[in-house]
Every structure is written in structure tokens, then in C-alpha cells.
């Protein structure tokens, strides 16, 4: 029987209790502590997870001899400092999305983990849902053919966040999913972001991201805090089939349509010119069977397996960086009134002093 690993959850706010519950019930982990500067809040979470110990100082937690890893569920601006301290103490780290508040800090976290041979995992929870795992499987086996477009909608009447706009709040979910299912990850040529603030909240409350892909395909993400209706839907169109994921339809989350457009080029009178002949393919629609299991439980197992196998997790730090680089490019595009912004501007030269990067 595989020996369990020991983990502590740092942060007992909104997401921390969910992580604590899943690590507590996981066959791969022993939850040994909850750490939060608010001791009472940490105690409430500890009581729900078997009465594990409560720690209010990160330094005291990281001095623990019985700890293999930490899961960080704190505001993004604190991720770098906590993760760096944990990695320096020789612990593996899981970090809530987004990986960090800047690409510079995110890259530093990835470098630090690699230098120490430790696992740094991005908590891209949706990637471990049965639906998204099935989407990845179908794309890998070529069931959809070459991907032509991805159209994702995540809208609801939601809480306007005090520290981030709608892009940084909601889009990481969609971007991490698209990055997970596309072969080679999400690597757009440019990012164009258009946002609106009709309430005068001082930040975008409605937003659209356009992401042209290297093969001529296009990804598009719509996020919105102001919609009275809640929609969680992604459409992925390929040369063979089109897939629709409706996360709010438990009876039929995935639908695969054998429908599409076929484009054939025909020569005219032997000349070099050609004409396009368009035909429409109308076939069957089917819904893959999906197992019922909690995504966070699957993610906890993947974290443990990556540590034991000494390999990167399926949503590793590099995946977190790809999402982070798109968010940063989106912010620059917004400042440029929606101008197409290349991601290359986010890359830091390898020989640039780290101390300068972190200023």
C-alpha cells in the first residue's frame, strides 16, 4: 500500500475549505494543518476536516518536519511569496489560479521549483472534470479532426471583485481548459481584449478575448459579471465533428455533432485559378457517457502521482504561465483600446538579473 503524503492548506477563505475537504478524504494524502492569519477561520475549517492542527504563521508551518507539500488558496498577489518560501523549505506546491499576479513572479516560481526538483502544480480544477478529460481524449484521438475554432462563454450575475477585472476573475477557467485540451497547449499569436464598464465600477465588467491560433484557427472567450442568466458553454469545431460542452446540463454535458462544412477546391478549365465548392455534412449527434466524480479529488490524486513519479503534473507551472501570459497581454490590449498584442512582450530575457525582474 502506497504511503500517504502529508499536506497543509494555506488559506481558509473561499476556496481553501474545498481543498481541505478533498485532501482530507483523499486516499493519497494526510491533511495535517490549516494555515491562515485568521485563527478562528482556520479553526472552523480544521473542525470540518477531522480536527487537524491550526497554524497562523507561515514560518511556523514551513518549519514542520512532517510536511511534504502545501496547497495555496490565498489572493493572487500573495502566491509568489508563499510558494517561494515553501519551495525553499523543500516542499511541493499547488497554487490556486491564477499562478501569480505577474508573469515575472510566475516565472520565478517555475524556475525555483525546477531548480529544486519539486512539483509546482496549477490548481486548474476544471481540467480534472470528467467532461474536460473526455474532451481532451476526443481531440487527442482525432475524433474532431483539425481544430477550426473554440468559442467559450462564461457569464452570470456575479460579484464584482475589488482587486481584479472580469478577465482576471473568470477567464482563467476558460483559458486553462482550452490550454488543457488543445495539443501543445494554448499558444495564440496575439491577444485582443475588449472590455466595458457600464456600471462605472472602475474595471471591465464585460469582456471579450480574441485569440488567433498558429494554424489559422480562432479561440474566443466571453466573460461577464452582469448577465441575469448563467451560461457555462464551450463549442469546439473541427474538420470532422463539432463538440458542445454545456456545464450546466447534468443530463447531457457533452454533445458531439457529425455536422460541418466541407470545402473543396476545383480547378477551372485547367487554369491555375480555383473555385471553392462548399458542401454541408449532416450526420448523427451523440453524447459520450461520463463518470461521476469530483474534479478536486482527481486533482489531488494527480498532485500525489506527479510527486511520486517525479514528473510534471498535467497542469504544471508552465500551463499556469501560459494562462498568465494571456491575461497580462489582455491587460495591455485593453490599455491599447483592443489592439492585437503579442505574447512575446511578456517574455523575460534569460540573462536578465532575477533581482531586477522582481523589483
Each residue's pLDDT tens digit, 5-35:
999 999 999 999 999 999 999 999 999 999 9
Question: Which residues share a beta bridge with 208?
Answer: 194, 222
**Residue 79, SS3 per DSSP:** helix
Which residue in 196, 152, 137, 149 sits closest to 314, CA to CA? 137
- Contact between 146 and 215 under an 8 Å Cβ cutoff? The reply is yes
Q: What confidence score (pLDDT) does residue 275 get?
A: 59
147-193 pLDDT, tens digit each:
999 999 999 998 888 889 999 999 999 999 999 999 999 999 999 99
* Tens digit of each residue's pLDDT (9 = 90 or more) over 250-283: 999 999 999 777 766 555 555 555 556 777 777 8
Give the residue ranges of DSSP H helices in 66-124: 76-88, 103-116
Kindly report whether the global pTM for this prediction surpasses the value 0.75: yes
Residue ranges of the chain assigned to CATH 3.30.360.10:
127-286
CATH topology of domain 127-286: Dihydrodipicolinate Reductase; domain 2 (3.30.360)
Selection from 326, 324, 302, 325 nearest residue 313 by Cα: 302
For the chain, give every residue range classified as CATH 3.40.50.720: 5-125+295-315+348-357
- Can you give the pLDDT at residue 355? 45
Nearest residue to 355 via CA among 104, 93, 113: 104
Query: If you classify domain 5-125+295-315+348-357 with CATH, what class do you get?
Result: alpha beta
Amino acid at each position: 500500500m502506497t504511503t500517504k503524503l502529508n499536506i497543509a492548506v494555506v488559506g481558509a477563505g473561499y476556496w481553501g475549505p474545498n481543498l481541505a475537504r478533498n485532501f482530507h478524504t483523499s486516499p493519497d494524502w494526510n491533511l495535517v494543518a490549516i494555515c491562515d492569519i485568521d485563527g478562528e477561520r482556520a479553526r472552523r475549517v480544521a473542525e470540518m476536516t477531522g480536527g487537524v492542527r491550526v497554524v497562523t504563521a507561515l514560518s511556523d508551518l514551513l518549519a514542520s518536519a512532517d510536511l511534504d507539500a502545501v496547497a495555496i488558496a490565498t489572493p493572487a498577489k500573495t502566491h509568489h511569496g508563499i510558494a517561494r518560501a515553501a519551495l525553499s523549505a523543500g516542499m511541493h506546491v499547488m497554487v490556486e489560479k491564477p499562478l501569480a499576479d505577474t508573469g515575472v513572479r510566475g516565472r520565478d516560481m517555475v524556475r525555483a521549483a525546477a531548480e529544486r526538483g519539486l512539483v509546482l502544480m496549477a490548481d486548474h480544477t476544471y481540467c480534472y472534470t470528467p467532461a474536460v478529460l473526455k474532451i481532451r481524449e476526443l481531440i487527442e484521438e482525432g475524433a474532431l479532426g483539425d481544430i477550426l475554432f473554440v468559442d467559450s462563454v462564461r457569464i452570470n450575475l456575479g460579484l464584482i471583485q475589488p482587486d481584479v477585472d472580469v478577465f482576471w476573475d473568470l477567464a482563467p477557467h476558460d483559458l486553462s481548459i482550452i490550454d488543457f485540451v488543445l495539443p501543445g497547449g494554448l499558444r495564440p499569436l496575439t491577444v485582443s481584449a475588449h472590455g466595458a464598464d457600464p456600471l462605472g465600477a472602475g474595471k471591465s465588467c464585460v469582456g471579450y478575448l480574441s485569440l488567433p491560433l498558429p494554424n489559422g484557427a480562432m479561440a474566443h472567450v466571453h466573460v461577464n459579471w452582469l448577465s441575469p442568466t448563467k451560461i457555462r458553454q464551450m463549442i469546439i469545431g473541427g474538420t470532422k465533428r463539432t463538440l458542445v460542452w454545456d456545464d450546466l446540463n447534468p443530463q447531457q454535458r457533452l454533445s458531439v455533432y457529425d455536422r460541418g462544412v466541407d470545402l473543396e477546391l476545383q480547378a477551372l478549365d485547367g487554369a491555375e485559378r480555383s473555385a471553392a465548392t462548399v458542401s454541408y455534412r449532416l450526420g448523427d449527434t451523440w453524447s459520450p457517457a461520463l463518470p461521476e466524480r469530483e474534479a478536486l479529488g482527481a486533482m489531488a490524486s494527480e498532485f500525489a502521482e506527479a510527486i511520486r513519479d517525479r514528473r510534471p503534473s498535467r497542469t504544471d507551472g508552465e500551463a499556469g504561465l501560459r494562462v498568465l501570459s494571456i491575461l497580462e497581454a489582455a491587460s495591455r490590449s485593453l490599455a491599447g483600446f483592443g489592439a492585437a498584442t503579442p505574447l512575446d512582450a511578456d517574455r523575460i530575457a534569460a540573462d536578465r538579473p532575477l533581482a531586477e525582474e522582481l523589483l
